[in-house]
Structure 1
């Protein structure tokens, strides 16, 4: 299988390719990279759900790549985050951050999210055009996660740039450099916070490290980087994809304009329909596994195609239709099992507030370009637009 990030047609609409792969077999071996390497690609919903929860599929990338010469220089704080660990290490690390992302904790952030959204929309030019990605989908989650962690405002633009470069498919040198910039920045920020403690989430993680040594220094830096990056990347793509989906489905858009209280229940269908996550992060088999009738030997990489699984007709009738009346419970856009996204409540709160204000303040919101002119990010892991030009008049 050739690299899909080099195919503009696949980036624009990957779902026909996913359907063709899934129809052949929901789990199949595919060539990846050069040198005869291969992975097992999962495109069926039940198979993907099973894979995400199977403890025989490890996320310990350090163990998998030990002794393998890759030529890469990704900083260990980025390469070996909580996402790349298994229990009991993963359990210990996750426990330290879950309290900051509960529904109750997120509800306390909603007034700040609302004020931030209004401030961003206030800057939109009357009538447009305006790039919704650059002027809302990117800055809103960046500001929120940086506020939560305690990242100073002057640093946020650069942090966002480094984060975006981590997903620069086909540019390993750019990815490696960005990983070191983020790790170095987080190391400096932690040192600064030690000298001037505050009440942000990062301060609480420092206290855990310095108080009873539940975190090593390396784990502290890594956890800070992960929260910073994961805290906005998915939400940025979620917002852009959701708005585009609604603009391309006028009846559903009008429905939410007239009944904004339905927006929270619509979020899961929008997530299912066009997931901001294309593929789950790296896994490999620690022993032989049979998945979807396919035998996978031990030591093989497994790629779980979230976007494909969310469009499986065996799970949802007419999966290529955006239907706000369907029950999309169980979609995999936030993952499944012990690695399910800890920040899901925050992402949904940001999307709920942003969509409510967007549809209320700009009732004639519409695309400023044809869909053929939209450009999608070249990355295997996430699915999102580089820009979304819209026209909007104020109420």
Structure 2
């Protein structure tokens, strides 16, 4: 293919459609520049980013502290592999462990890698510490879960698009209804090593369990000598108005998986955090990653931790939550049927008789607001934690316009 000048959104879209795998169905916006909560396409149109890269951009695009940390590290070293020590990894792990209340951190790259790592740790803990017979370990998982797209993880997904046609599937997982303590208790056997849970199911449309579920799960896991593993990859690091979504009800899991926002929107960074009594089943040679814990990733991740250590961003998300909820709930009965809000994270169920979630997101984009649909009629809103109240009003007012226009056109 010969090189040609690309100048419009459509020309870039057409090229991508020709040469890139069709594993996404993106909105027709081609971003070329981004700063804070705003992005600009190749034609110069400006949009408010209310998706934040599925919470990978909790601090907005190109946050100056994070860019500075990356630039400084680029001038020093970027990769050593874990065959050697580097001067960024220790400080990063120390401060991340302190932030989430754990003793040890195992750094990886992507969120799916963090979940895979946590599953390996849980199984090995089950064999070496709990005494589960070899190759019989079970992990209880939730319906509607989303933990990534690796072969093992999609083995226990109940989303046909993620799951179907990739078998044979990895055994050892038992699925129960999300938020159902009685079902979890019934599913736990002497072979159960862990319960894997999203404190809030983001991909499912920001589904928030009933109050008391997480504390009850914590109590149950302790009573049955089972690890509580909380996937905080989307929900963690300030998104919900607390450092971790588990913290909303004062719950401490045995292991956390972290990612997305940990890389500041600059580089993939993920991690598993746990106390030594769990983490130390991992010994030299039993797990690794060429890029996990590289000095560039550690420098950026450390800068993210420093932003969160002040509590400022968590407090801002918590402060805006009531207003965010009020503005969205005002749309119920006016093209919206249900709303779920925690911090600066919302799932909005559009009336399917009015429009689909994808249609709503396309209409929002035409009016300068970027969001993402999921499961047909639901859209997710997750603006950067740096957004102001006035800017948040732009998001909710624009959504109000979109559903009102769609309802009027019926």
State the TM-score, normalizing by the size of structure 1.
Answer: 0.26
Q: Could you say which structure has the higher helix fraction?
A: 1
Q: Could you say which structure has the higher strand fraction?
A: 2
Higher relative contact order (CA 8 A, sep 6+): 1
